[in-house]
């Protein structure tokens, strides 16, 4: 079972502060989405609304055609795992898993047990006594074993060391292939997980600035290097995110559609065209005044 998500002119206000500005997008069911944004961009606010933790100030949200807020049936279909955990600190690991099993109808006990063993989670230890890494491991175990049609991970694996995170990425992809669902990953570790994303959404200052297929975004970004005058001619009229210059050689990052003719013309003028990583594109797109000071 997979569920799509539709958001239309979504707003969220905290008093006089507007955290989300008229977000509109559609997520087809059965894909892995990357949600990117700087600290304070509104990512967690958006995810909290999708998970029915919070009611929007204006606009609409539907999951599988239904509004999620105060919808018990829909809450069983959405699993929201945050880095902070939000679990009862007095619960043992076993208690937390038992509670999770009662919350999500698609819960898989056998898979949960496999992950507990994989992460060496101490079943009798209370959450308050767990290290940050162990709390993160417990969170991703619950998220994966929930098999919820919409599963959201909001920086939930940041406390894990690199080997544990890579185990999570591998488990997520394998389980997604066997049990398709809609997965949203909010992360700052873009390079580590970019290969998982089928589509990417970028939020900046509460506004949606990008929603595209990951490969489409990558192909639009190019690093152009060569003689400064030739680089400037090539970049004229294009969106330029950043530039570096050393003597007569210049390098710029351009963003936009480049057809074969444009690429051939660049090469004929002695320019080198190189790829730009999703993380670098994200950094350029969300750069603010003062970042380089």
CA distance 265 to 276: 20
Query: What are the φ/ψ torsions at residue 54 (nearest 5 degrees)?
Result: -145, 145
pLDDT digits (tens, 9 = 90+) for 135-182: 999 999 999 999 999 999 998 888 899 999 999 999 999 999 999 999
Return the exposure string of 163-186: e unless at least 16 CB atoms fall within 10 Å of the residue's CB, then b.
ebbebbbebbeebbeeeebbbbbb
Percentage of the residues of the chain whose pLDDT score is greater than 70:
97
What does the domain layout of the chain look like in residue ranges? 5-205, 217-285
Task: Say whether pLDDT at 208 is over 70.
Answer: yes
Per-residue pLDDT band for 277 (boundaries 50, 70, 90) equals confident
| CA diameter of the chain | 67
Q: 3-state SS of the chain: helix, strand, coil percent to 5? A: 35, 30, 35
Q: What are phi and psi of 30, to 5 degrees?
A: 80, 35
Name the pLDDT band for 290 (thresholds 50, 70, 90): low
Question: According to the model, what pLDDT value does residue 85 have?
Answer: 56
CATH fold label, 5-205 = Rossmann fold (3.40.50)
> Contact at 8 Å (CB) between 13 and 49?
no
Poorest-pLDDT segment among 44-53, 102-111, 225-234: 225-234
More confident residue, 89 or 235: 235
In this structure, which CATH number among 2.60.40.10, 3.30.70.240, 3.30.70.20, 3.40.30.10 belongs to the domain 217-285?
Answer: 3.30.70.240
> pLDDT tens digits, residue range 86-135?
677 788 999 999 999 999 999 999 999 999 999 999 999 998 899 989 99
Torsion angle defined by CA atoms of residues 287, 289, 290 and 293, in that order, rounded to the nearest 10 degrees: 80
**Residue 231 · residue 273 · CB < 8 Å:** no
Q: Whole-angstrom Cα distance, residue 35 to residue 30?
A: 16
Rg (CA), the chain: 22
The angle formed by the CA atoms of residues 23, 50 and 127, to the nearest 5 degrees, is 135
DSSP 195: G
CA distance 241 to 232: 13
For position 86, what pLDDT does the model report?
60
* Residue 248 predicted with pLDDT over 90: no
Q: Give the C-alpha separation, 10 to 61, whole Å.
A: 7
Tokens standing for residue 183: 């997965």
Choose among 71, 103, 69: nearest CA to 86.
103
The pLDDT confidence band at residue 293, using thresholds 50, 70 and 90, is very low
* Secondary structure, 3-state, 93-117: HHHHHHHHHHHCCCCCHHHHHHHHH
210 φ/ψ angles, rounded to the nearest 5 degrees: -150, 135
Handedness of CA 191, 154, 197, 55 (dihedral sign): negative
Compare 112 and 268 and report the one with higher pLDDT: 112
Burial (CB count <10 Å: 0-12, 13-18, 19+), residue 265: middle
């Amino acid at each position: 079972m997979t569920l799509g998500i539709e958001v239309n002119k979504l707003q969220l206000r905290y008093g006089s502060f507007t955290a989300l500005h008229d977000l509109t997008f559609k997520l087809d069911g059965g894909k892995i989405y990357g949600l990117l944004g700087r600290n304070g961009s509104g990512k967690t606010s958006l995810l909290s609304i999708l998970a029915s933790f919070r009611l929007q100030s204006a606009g609409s949200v539907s999951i599988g055609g239904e509004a999620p807020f105060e919808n018990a049936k829909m809450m069983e279909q959405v699993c929201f795992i945050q880095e902070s955990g939000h679990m009862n600190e007095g619960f043992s690991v076993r208690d937390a898993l038992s509670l999770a099993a009662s919350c999500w109808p698609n819960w898989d006990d056998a898979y949960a047990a496999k992950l507990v063993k994989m992460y060496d989670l101490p079943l009798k230890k209370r959450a308050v006594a767990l290290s940050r890494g162990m709390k993160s491991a417990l969170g991703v175990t619950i998220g994966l074993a929930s098999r919820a049609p919409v599963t959201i991970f909001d920086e939930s694996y940041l406390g894990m060391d690199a080997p544990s995170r890579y185990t999570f990425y591998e488990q997520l992809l394998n389980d997604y292939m066997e049990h398709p669902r809609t997965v949203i990953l909010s992360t700052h570790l873009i390079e580590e997980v970019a290969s998982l994303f089928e589509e990417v959404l970028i939020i900046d200052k509460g506004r949606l600035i990008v929603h595209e297929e990951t490969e489409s975004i990558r192909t639009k970004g190019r690093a152009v290097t060569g003689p400064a005058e030739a680089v400037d001619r090539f970049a004229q009229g294009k969106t330029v995110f950043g530039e570096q210059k050393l003597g007569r050689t210049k390098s710029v990052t351009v963003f936009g559609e480049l057809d074969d003719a444009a690429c051939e013309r660049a090469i004929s003028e002695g320019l080198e065209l190189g790829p730009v990583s999703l993380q670098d594109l994200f950094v350029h797109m969300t750069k603010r005044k003062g970042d380089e000071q």
